[in-house]
Amino acid sequence: MKKCEIFFILLSVAALFSCNTNSNKESKSDNTVNSAVPENPVVVQQPAGVPVNISGSIPLDSNIQDSPVLDYSMELEPIVLNNSTATAKAVNALSYAITGTEYGDLGTACDAQVKRLTAKFQELRPDYIDIRENYDDAFWPDNHYYVKGVCEKGYKGYENYILNYDEYEGGAHGYYYTAVHTFDPRDGHEVILDEIMKEGYEEELLHAIAAGILRYCKARDITELDWLQHGTGELFISKNAVLRDSCITFIYNPYEIASYAAGKIEADITYEELKHILK
């Protein structure tokens, strides 16, 4: 497939469907760590193997009864690898992905994130007071921040950790996106495609992804999509790749290769399709 054909596929995919598949599964445990103190959250140490569930609301102005709020929820399944060193490395990577800082456990990371969200949201308080005092029809929407982490065993025993975010900070709509982290259970390092693919795999993989996108959009061939005339750019190999047992799922978040209206786009590529480029 020529580069221009790949480009046309992505032009065609834009705004085709509002596709938002949900790979989440519910965390079920009687040992869930709970916390809901929004302004001064208590740090909860998370033993290995225990999920984290933190939720609550942060008022924009606690002196106002009907103050706008920032609702937050963080539900994270635990990740436990083959040894404590590997587990610690994975936990540090996940806490950094969520907060920008490495923490020793996910409970501490979530509490730190609540503090960060609180500080950032309450920076808007002076603007809210100004609007409330100067406009009779003053309106400030509630915001939200949700993240859910799901751990899934996959290819060669790797552990896929899928973080699904949903954020709203005002404006026409919120933004939802997925971030995938895959760990080697032996030492906890993050696995990249270069480790399982032969050198020079990129072009053939792009062709396979393009075909996967057509399948996802229920299109038999490119001619079914040629009535669409707009898109966002060229196809690329997403770093958000879930290395499942039977296939690799490449996830493209809204705006990455298509419009927001097109939603999240996923392409499942079986290992049989990739046999010529797999190590």
**Domains 3-21+192-270 and 33-183 fall in the same CATH topology:** no
Domain ranges of the chain: 3-21+192-270, 33-183
Strand partners, 34: 53
Length of the chain: 279
Average per-residue pLDDT in the chain? 82
Stretch 65-78: mean pLDDT, rounded? Answer: 94
pLDDT level of residue 18 (50, 70, 90 thresholds) = very low
Distance, C-alpha 17 to centroid of its chain: 20
Of 19, 23, 37, nearest in space to 216 by CA: 19
Instruction: Please give the residue that has the higher pLDDT: either 143 or 140.
Output: 143
Longest dimension (CA), the chain: 67
pLDDT of 186 strictly over 70: yes
- Please check whether residue 184 is in contact with residue 243, taking contact to mean a CB–CB distance below 8 angstroms: no
pLDDT level of residue 9 (50, 70, 90 thresholds) = very low
CA atoms of 62 and 125, how far apart (whole Å): 10
CATH topology of domain 3-21+192-270: Actin; Chain A, domain 4 (3.90.640)
pLDDT in tens, 214-249: 888 887 765 554 433 344 457 899 999 999 999 999
Pick the range with the lowest mean pLDDT from 10-19, 170-179, 199-208.
10-19
pLDDT level of residue 140 (50, 70, 90 thresholds) = confident
Of 244, 249, 258, nearest in space to 215 by CA: 249
Instruction: Report the C-alpha dihedral over residues 117, 165, 258, 93, rounded to 10 degrees.
Output: 90
Pick the range with the lowest mean pLDDT from 55-69, 104-118, 173-187, 252-266.
252-266
Give the CA angle between residues 270, 157, 216 to the nearest 5°.
25
pLDDT computed for residue 73 by the predictor: 97
- Please check whether residue 267 is in contact with residue 46, taking contact to mean a CB–CB distance below 8 angstroms: no
CATH topology of domain 33-183: Heat Shock Protein 90 (3.30.565)
CA atoms of 129 and 62, how far apart (whole Å): 12
pLDDT of 42 strictly over 50: no
Neighbours of 66 (CB within 10 A): 7
